[in-house]
């Protein structure tokens, strides 16, 4: 019988930062982070220069999982229109979860209000990567203006995430319908 390795203090801090900042916001204190991770402040500061560095590392660590959950696999041979719709279908599924609070990569920079903060930079890169995915797929799908469509899709993605995060609307079926209308007006196959 295989035993699972115990998480290191670094891993526990990264998990605590991800969980608590998503649930409670970036204003969460160092004491609460350390308590949730089961590590001392001294240990935290030996592993991370600051709470800001911990937050950025936590976002960075989750970035690839975020992409895997949203984006279709590279070898997915569906047409571009369906590949883009896959992203919105996944977002709609996640938005329906009771613990959903919106997109962490949108919330963190809004809360921080500091574009130069390392966590804001990680979030911006993740958002830029998503827009680049939309742009590439829109171009492959024959969009009349792939850049404009990518920006519109990003706007819908983040707006839908924000609306679902604050429970204004459940968005069931609304996202795909809206994206489909954009596809039709941009002539995407």
Same domain, 132 and 179: yes
Q: Is residue 2 part of a domain?
A: no
Closest to 53 in 3D by CA, of 127, 119, 110, 124: 119
Q: Is residue 75 part of a domain?
A: yes
Judge whether 54 and 13 are in contact, CB under 8 Å.
Answer: yes
Same domain, 114 and 169: yes
pLDDT at 156: 93
> For 110-114, which contacts have Cβ atoms below 8 Å and span 24 or more sequence positions?
111/25, 111/26, 111/27, 112/26
Q: How far is CA 159 from the centre of its chain?
A: 13
CA distance 128 to 80: 19
DSSP-derived secondary structure for 131-188:
HHHHHHHHHHTT-SSHHHHHHHHHHHHHHHHHHHHTTS---TTHHHHHHHHHHHHHT-
Judge whether 186 and 149 are in contact, CB under 8 Å.
Answer: yes
Q: How far is CA 108 from the centre of its chain?
A: 10
pLDDT at 165: 84
Same domain, 38 and 69: no
Q: Is residue 54 part of a domain?
A: no
**What is the tally of structural domains in the chain?**
2
pLDDT at 92: 87
pLDDT in tens, 51-100: 999 999 999 999 999 999 999 998 999 999 999 999 999 988 888 888 88
The pTM assigned to this predicted structure is 0.88
Q: Name the residue range of residue 163's domain.
A: 63-186
Q: Is residue 42 part of a domain?
A: yes
Judge whether 176 and 81 are in contact, CB under 8 Å.
Answer: no
pLDDT in tens, 132-161: 999 999 999 999 999 999 999 999 999 988
Same domain, 86 and 148: yes
Judge whether 123 and 109 are in contact, CB under 8 Å.
Answer: yes
pLDDT at 174: 81
CATH code for the domain of 25: 1.10.10
Same domain, 28 and 95: no
Residue 157 sits at φ, ψ, to 5 deg, of -60, -50
pLDDT in tens, 2-49: 555 789 999 999 999 999 999 999 999 999 999 999 999 999 999 999
Q: Is residue 175 part of a domain?
A: yes
CA distance 103 to 95: 9
CA distance 166 to 164: 6
Q: Is residue 18 part of a domain?
A: yes
Same domain, 69 and 43: no
What is the DSSP-derived secondary structure letter of residue 5? P
pLDDT at 172: 76
Q: Is residue 57 part of a domain?
A: no
Assigned token pair, 182: 């954009």
What is the DSSP-derived secondary structure letter of residue 49? S
pLDDT surpassing 70 at residue 104:
yes
Give me the mean pLDDT over the 104-130 stretch: 94
């Amino acid at each position: 019988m295989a035993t699972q390795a115990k998480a290191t203090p670094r891993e526990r801090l990264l998990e605590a930062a991800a969980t608590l900042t998503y649930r409670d916001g970036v204003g969460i204190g160092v004491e609460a982070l350390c308590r949730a991770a089961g590590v001392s402040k001294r240990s935290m500061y030996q592993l991370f220069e600051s709470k800001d560095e911990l937050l950025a590392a936590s976002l960075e660590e989750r970035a690839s999982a975020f992409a895997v959950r949203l984006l279709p696999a590279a070898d997915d041979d569906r047409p571009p229109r369906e590949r883009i719709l896959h992203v919105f279908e996944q977002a709609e599924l996640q938005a329906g979860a009771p613990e959903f609070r919106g997109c962490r990569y949108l919330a963190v920079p809004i809360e921080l209000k500091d574009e130069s903060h390392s966590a804001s930079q990680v979030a911006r890169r993740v958002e830029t990567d998503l827009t680049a995915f939309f742009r590439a797929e829109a171009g492959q799908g024959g969009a009349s203006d792939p850049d404009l469509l990518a920006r519109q899709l990003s706007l819908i993605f983040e707006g839908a995430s924000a609306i679902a995060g604050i429970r204004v609307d459940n968005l069931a079926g609304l996202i795909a319908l809206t994206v489909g209308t954009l596809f039709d007006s941009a002539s995407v196959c």
